[in-house]
Structures are given as C-alpha cells and as structure tokens.
Structure 1
Amino acid sequence: MEYIDRKKKLGEVVSIMMDYVENKKTHQTEKTMTVPTRSYTDPAQFEAEMERIFTKVPLMLAFTAELPNNGDYKAMEAVGMPILINRDKKGQVRAFLNVCSHRGAPVAEEGHGNCPVFVCKYHAWSFGQDGRLMGVAEQSTFGKVDKAERGLKQLPCEERGGMIFVCLDPEGAIDLDEYFQGYLGDFEDLDFADWHYVGSRTIHGANWKIAFDGYLEGYHFSSLHPETIHPRTPSNCMHYEGFGPSMRIGFPQHEIKNLLKDVPKEEWGTRENYGYDFVRILFPNVSIFVAPEITQVAQLFPGPTPDKNRTVLNYLRRDPPRDEEDAQALEQFCDFFRNVTYEEDYVIGMEIQKGLESGAHEALIFGKNERGNQYFHEWLNWYVAGDDTAPKPEM
C-alpha cells in the first residue's frame, strides 16, 4: 500500500511538472529570503554548524553495497573524525571511532576491506567486530588492563534503504523514521540495498553551503550548464517537496509531454528518468541523482576551515559490470560526472567564496523560485539556533 501511495504521489508531482514546462512556470514561495554573507565565512558560524548539526543529526556515511559481506568494513574521515563502519559475522552493521584505546592510532587503514579482527598497527592491540578489546600485545610486561573498559568507542548507527547512517556523537541517538518522515521509502522502492557500488571520486571546493546551494536549484542550468544539463532539462523549472529537513526536487525534461504521451497517467510515477528526474537531498549534506546509466551520490564534508569542503562523489548502478568493456564504460561515466560537477559547479563556487570574503555585499538573496535553498537555510538556522520551541519550516 505504501509503495502504491508513493507512486500515486509521484504521478501527481509529474502532472505538476508537465504543467510547468507547458506554461513556463516553476515552484514558487511567497517571498525572497536573505542570508548574511558571513554565514559562509564566519568561523563561529562554522563551529556552530559542526557542533549543532554535523555531530548531532544522522549522517549518511556508507552504502549497503559497500559492505555486502559479513566481515566487510569501511574506514573513512567525516568532518575531521576517523570513522570505522563494519558488518559483523551475523550481518549487523556497527560504527566506531577508528581510534585505538591504547595510544590513539587507527585500527584500520582508510578504505574498504574484510577482516575478523582489527589490529592497531602501532602496538598490535586487537579488537573484535563488535569493538571489544580482544588482545593486548605482550600483556605480561604491559600490566593490568580492563578489557571491558577499553573497547572501541561505539557510535549510534542504523542501516535503512540501502544506506548506513551514523551519529558522530557517542552519546547521541538515531530515529530515522522521525528524521526522514517516510522519505526512505523512496530508496526501498528502488531496491537501493541491492545495487552495485562502482567507486568514488573526491573533489574539493569552497564553503560547504556554497557548494550545496548549487545542488538545490536549476535556475542556473542555461547559464552554467548550456551543453551538459540544459539540453535535457529546462532552466528555472523545479518542484520541491519537504520530508523533515530533507527534500525531493523534481526536474522535468524538455520532452516530458512527448515521452509520457503514450504512458497511462496512473503509471507516470514509475517513469523516473523518462520525462523527468529527481534529485534527492538528505539534510544536511547529501545529494542523490539517480540516472539510467549511473547514479551519483555526493557527500559534502565541511572544512577543515570555513572556506573549504571535501566532496566525495559516490557512484552506484543497479547491476554489476557485465564484462570488462562495461566496467570501463562505468569508469568513464564516473569521470564525466566528476568533471562536470567540479569544472562547472565547484570552480565557480571557489570564485563565489572570494567574492563573499571581499565584503562587497552584506547578504545574499534567494528568490521565490529558489525554494529549495530557502528551505535548506531555514532548517540550518533552526538547528544552529538550538531553540527546541522554534517553529520548523514547511515546504
């Protein structure tokens, strides 16, 4: 029933987007919104975002497809913190700080692997898949150690819809149903957990919000992407839906009417990529574009200073490569998407960073047609304010 209801809802959105294209309209809100320039440059603002958002909310840090087998692990850095995610011998996923309890060295090298035990390369202390301290090298000379008190520091973690979410606060908690308001059903419908992980590319850019703002609107397609995106997708033609602080952005294609003219209206919601596309935004830092050839999932990690971000572009596909030729084609798709994202979006983002730091203007302005940007900044401001009684913004 939930699947049918979601597809019906998507079909209603498709009908709205078709009207947008036919009548040259877009989703609009009631007024414009200004954001202080210092929001992108101020160290105090940056620290507040790290403390009140990135260490508190569920962050999508890995995919089920990255850890398909028992014993698989992924070691990574997220906003300056060393993270270890693993799947134990019973298939359960856990997350830890990748920090040995002896002298603080990592217990796993950054990247992917498979092992039954994590061994610190510094002094060879060993830890189980559940984070328990299993062995102290040459303990007879080291002295007494309470192994129960010296395990890896565990982080709240949950696997849903083919994605693995982690809270970077060891004392925090995760409630994905409350946080995503049913949005993860999209990924369950896509059978995202069964997809193939192709690989990733890393790019660097300006303040994380400058970069993220670019994922939230298509107002710039004709001017910034005249040869890559605009031939498929009209500029300034978007539809927004909110799910808690996250959102789904609909982008109709120029040919939406022709591509769907022979498709029964009740099936429009099943035709993603054929007449329309969606960009799925997971607050605070993930953008997902599902395409027929390959899917790009951008994870934006702020820092290490306010003027910089590190973006990991992950690539997945429904099926694994059929042969070597297909595998090479997938790698070429990864490079193409990476190049477009960096050369057409991130380069101008770094120019914007310089412009904001110049002090030319005290505030930026988001138009009535840029509702996604407004929605994102409303939620961000709500979290940073830390006021539990503040009204949560609606779409």
Structure 2
Amino acid sequence: MVMDPAYIAQIKNLMEWEAARTAPPEGFPHLPDLPAGRYTSQEYYDLEQQHIWKKSWLFAAHIDEVPEPGCFMKWENTGDPIIIVHGMDGKVRAFYNTCRHRGAPVVTQEKGRSPRLMCGYHNWTYKTDGELVGVPDKQDFTGLDMSCRSLIPVKCERLGNLIFVNFDDEAMPLKEWLGPVCDDLEEFQLDKIRLASRYSFDLNCNWKVAMEANMEVYHVPFIHPDTVSPLVDHRRNVNTMFANGHARMLAPAPADTDREHTRAIDSPPEWQEIDTVGEFGRTCTQSYTLFPNWVSPVSNYFVPPLVFWPTGLNTTRLELITMALDWGDGPAPDLWTVPDETKPNGRNMSQIILEDTQFGEMIQKSLESDGFKGVPLSYQEARIYSFHQTCDKMIGLDNVPEHLAVEQVIGDEWVYPNDPRVAQMEQLEAAE
C-alpha cells in the first residue's frame, strides 16, 4: 500500500520543520542515560536470551532457500536447532531439529530435499508436516503412541517470500506484530522479490552496539563523510516510532544533490525496478527497524536487510542480505558485500558497512572499562531509546533489575499514529 498524498505532504513538511527547529519538539521527554550494564552485563544478556529471542518474530529464511515441496534447511541463529521445511502440501513450517526418540538431530545437512525426514541415529522417520510415520522394530516399544511423537513445531509465518519464526506459541500473528510497518512494506512487493545474496560476518561487540550504528543518522557526517553524508541530510531526517519497537526513518538528500543520486546507496541500472514503490522509496533514504534485530533501507530496486544475531555477550553475527526482483541470467545483485578471497565465503563487507562496523570492537572494550558509566542519547537518537524501552517490555518490566532498567519515558503519544510534532508544526505555520 503506497502512502497517501496527504501523508506524504505531511512528512515533507516535517522534514523542513525538523531542519528548522532549534531544540527537540515541545514536550519530548528527557532521555535518561542508558545503564552501562545493558551492553556488558551477563545478567542482562541472559534476560535477552530468555525473553526477547524467545518471544519476538525473527527473520529466518527466504522462500528461495526452500523453494520446492520437500526442501528443508537448518537454522540455528538463536542457538536452538531448527529445521525450516517446505512441506509436500506446499506449506512452510518450522520444527525443532530434535528427534522424539533420543534427541539426535533429524537433519544434519545444511540444506536438502526429501519427501521424508529421517533421523540418522535410529531411522525414526517423519513426514514434512512433522508427523512420525516410521519406527524400526516398533514392536519392542511398549505403549508407544506415534501420534504423540511428532516433531515439535516452532511458530512459523510468511510475509510474502520472507519466512519468520517465533518460539512463543502464544505470540500474536506476524502481521499484527508488524502493524503499520506491514502496510508500508506492501509497495516493495515482498511476495515477488528474490533472495540475491546472504552472507554472514562475525563482529567482536555486543549485538546492540553493532545494530545501533544503523538506527540513527547523527553519526553520518562523521563516519560516512564521502559515502552516505553527501546523499543524506541528517538534519531533515524524520523518525517515526511504531508499536512493538519498530521504527522508520525518512532522510531526504541534501538540497544541492544531483537528483539522479538521491539515496545513500545507488542502484545499478541493470536491476529490475519495483514499479509500485512510492515517492519516498525513490527519492529518500527510507529505512525500517523491525524489532528486535532487522534494519533495512528499502528502495525501488531492493530490500537489503542487515540482521544482527548475538553469539555471546560481546560477539555478534551480522547477516548482510540483498533481495530484489528477478535479475534473469545476469549476476545476482549484492548490495552489501564485495569479492575478497581472503574473507569468509570469498566476500568482504562494502565500504558503508565497514565504516559502520569499524569501531565495534574498540567500543566494546571501552564499554567494559571503568570509564563507561552510561549512554546519554539525543532527540536524534530517540529510535535507540525506544528500542531499549521495548527490550525491557519484552523481558518484563518487573524482571529487569533496577540498575539495568531504562525508564519508560517515551509514551504512546509519540508512537504512530500519534505525533505531537504535527500539531506543533501546524501551529507554527498558522502563526507565520
């Protein structure tokens, strides 16, 4: 669903209002310092593992990775061994990769295709819908009810060609979780875009340190002086916060920028255009944070998410993914990485990603020193504070120790569809 003209006009006016303001919007709360331990405390990390990663919808795969009935793939990005299976009935499902007999992995290949899933330990066999259908020497098991021994499912839903999982059986549906963001993303044809590339890189810092570098444009003039800064006017950026920790940024190009190059990342001319994308996706840097770990600019040529996975308290795996419409017989598009035989999978991160990740390890060392007491955030960095508020809500406000908690100061009045900036802008326009 393309944004309606009235909303587009409102956002454009907000861009100019943001550039002209001399202080945060009236009534915007003071943001207390984020406690240092949120990046360095094993106690807080364990709470994240127990609650955030067990209750959130997580991007797991693209349908191109399990394209046909019978295709399966292993997925272990949160530590739990999972199988994603394209069932013989056409439905995509997820299961714990754990045989109901002695707990051996049912699947040991990274990917494959079979009408049945067979555990190699004792050949217990399952259909692609998880049903147990084969047990060797079944007569030797007393009272074995095969109907109660199916593979244990993990909640799995699709958003177009994208596959998400959630370990919480009681989780709200994926589209409800995404809310208005789901409507925004319709114009990018998620049901048609293909998986062009997917590479992982290990970073030596807490996952939030790595992710937060992509959740504000305050740093752009300093970290990206020659790459992003010439194409993004950080003073005219408009942030929007949504329920459940999601967020959007819309940053126009500087006024004097060549209109043929108006986004932070240019599109090779040979790419097929997504013709349903609206004005902002064509002329601005339009980017979404999907809680907890997805950040992606989007445009009329690509959907290229950066996905951050904690592998330890101070280590992170960064997935760099490019999705685009069919590229035919040409080379698959890859927005975020470049050839480098000395790096994992023969690829290295692009210049922009190298700039964003260059300080991660050094930052982490500083965070772990006695010189780090907490994080003061500006209005420009409000998306980060809102993200931390949602982290604590997912954990449970009563479960977070006081010395690690953030104050819930950004209220619903600042969450879409509410936006006090609009009334303030209109009052200023009326007074002129």
Check whether the contact 1:27–1:237 (CA below 8 A) recurs between aligned residues. no
Check whether the contact 1:27–1:238 (CA below 8 A) recurs between aligned residues. no
What is the TM-score normalised by the length of structure 2? 0.78
CA distance in 1, matches of 2:9, 2:67: 33
Measured after TM superposition, the shift of residue 181 of structure 1 is 2.2
1:335 aligns with 2:325: no
Question: In the TM superposition, what whole-angstrom CA distance separates every residue of 1:51-93 from its partner, at most 9, and x where no partner exists?
Answer: 1211012222223444443333332113211111222233222
Structure 1 window deviating more from structure 2 (85-94 vs 216-225): it is: 85-94
CA distance in 2, matches of 1:254, 1:275: 11
Sort the Cα spacing of 1:214 and 1:4 in 2 relative to 1 into closer, same or farther, 3 A.
closer
Q: Given the alignment, which residue of 187, 190, 200 partners 1:189? A: 187
What is the TM-score normalised by the length of structure 1? 0.85
Q: Given the alignment, which residue of 14, 17, 28 partners 2:15? A: 17
Question: In the TM superposition, what whole-angstrom CA distance separates every residue of 1:19-58 from its partner, at most 9, and x where no partner exists?
Answer: 546x488976442331011110101101111112110122
CA distance in 1, matches of 2:3, 2:322: 29
Sort the Cα spacing of 1:58 and 1:37 in 2 relative to 1 into closer, same or farther, 3 A.
same
Q: State how 1:1-395 maps to structure 2 within 5 Å.
A: 3=1, 8-17=6-15, 20=18, 23=20, 29-109=28-108, 111-139=110-138, 145-169=144-168, 171-205=169-203, 206-244=205-243, 245-255=245-255, 259=259, 270-303=278-311, 305-319=312-326, 321-324=327-330, 326-327=331-332, 330-331=333-334, 334-335=337-338, 338-340=349-351, 342-387=353-398, 393-394=411-412, 395=414
Check whether the contact 1:157–1:165 (CA below 8 A) recurs between aligned residues. yes
Equivalence for 2:264: none
CA distance in 1, matches of 2:104, 2:140: 21
Question: In the TM superposition, what whole-angstrom CA distance separates every residue of 1:337-366 from its partner, at most 9, and x where no partner exists?
Answer: 833355222231111110010120211111
Check whether the contact 2:202–2:315 (CA below 8 A) recurs between aligned residues. yes
Sort the Cα spacing of 1:241 and 1:269 in 2 relative to 1 into closer, same or farther, 3 A.
farther
CA distance in 1, matches of 2:120, 2:355: 41
Q: Percent identity?
A: 25
Equivalence for 2:343: none
Secondary structure, aligned partner of 1:249: strand
Check whether the contact 1:85–1:94 (CA below 8 A) recurs between aligned residues. yes
Check whether the contact 1:158–1:166 (CA below 8 A) recurs between aligned residues. yes
Measured after TM superposition, the shift of residue 282 of structure 1 is 0.7
Check whether the contact 1:7–1:269 (CA below 8 A) recurs between aligned residues. no
Sort the Cα spacing of 1:19 and 1:147 in 2 relative to 1 into closer, same or farther, 3 A.
same
Letter in 2 for 1:233: V
Letter in 1 for 2:338: D
Measured after TM superposition, the shift of residue 314 of structure 1 is 1.7
CA distance in 2, matches of 1:196, 1:177: 20
Which runs of 5 or more structure 1 residues have no equivalent in the other structure?
261-267
Structure 1 window deviating more from structure 2 (25-34 vs 215-224): it is: 25-34
Structure 1 window deviating more from structure 2 (87-96 vs 5-14): it is: 5-14
Check whether the contact 1:219–1:237 (CA below 8 A) recurs between aligned residues. no
Check whether the contact 2:336–2:350 (CA below 8 A) recurs between aligned residues. no
CA RMSD of aligned residues (A): 3.1
Sort the Cα spacing of 1:77 and 1:159 in 2 relative to 1 into closer, same or farther, 3 A.
same
Check whether the contact 1:379–1:393 (CA below 8 A) recurs between aligned residues. no
Structure 1 window deviating more from structure 2 (356-365 vs 87-96): it is: 87-96
Letter in 2 for 1:253: A
Check whether the contact 1:99–1:105 (CA below 8 A) recurs between aligned residues. yes
Letter in 2 for 1:58: W
CA distance in 2, matches of 1:358, 1:189: 46
Sort the Cα spacing of 1:123 and 1:176 in 2 relative to 1 into closer, same or farther, 3 A.
same
CA distance in 2, matches of 1:164, 1:256: 40
Check whether the contact 1:25–1:237 (CA below 8 A) recurs between aligned residues. no
Check whether the contact 1:302–1:309 (CA below 8 A) recurs between aligned residues. yes
Structure 1 window deviating more from structure 2 (365-374 vs 342-351): it is: 342-351
Secondary structure, aligned partner of 2:280: coil
Check whether the contact 1:37–1:363 (CA below 8 A) recurs between aligned residues. yes
Letter in 2 for 1:340: Q
CA distance in 1, matches of 2:58, 2:21: 36
Letter in 2 for 1:246: H
Sort the Cα spacing of 1:118 and 1:341 in 2 relative to 1 into closer, same or farther, 3 A.
farther
Sort the Cα spacing of 1:332 and 1:209 in 2 relative to 1 into closer, same or farther, 3 A.
closer
Check whether the contact 1:285–1:299 (CA below 8 A) recurs between aligned residues. yes
Letter in 1 for 2:146: K
Letter in 2 for 1:189: E
CA distance in 2, matches of 1:385, 1:317: 38
- How many equivalent residue pairs? 379
Check whether the contact 2:322–2:335 (CA below 8 A) recurs between aligned residues. no
CA distance in 1, matches of 2:231, 2:3: 28
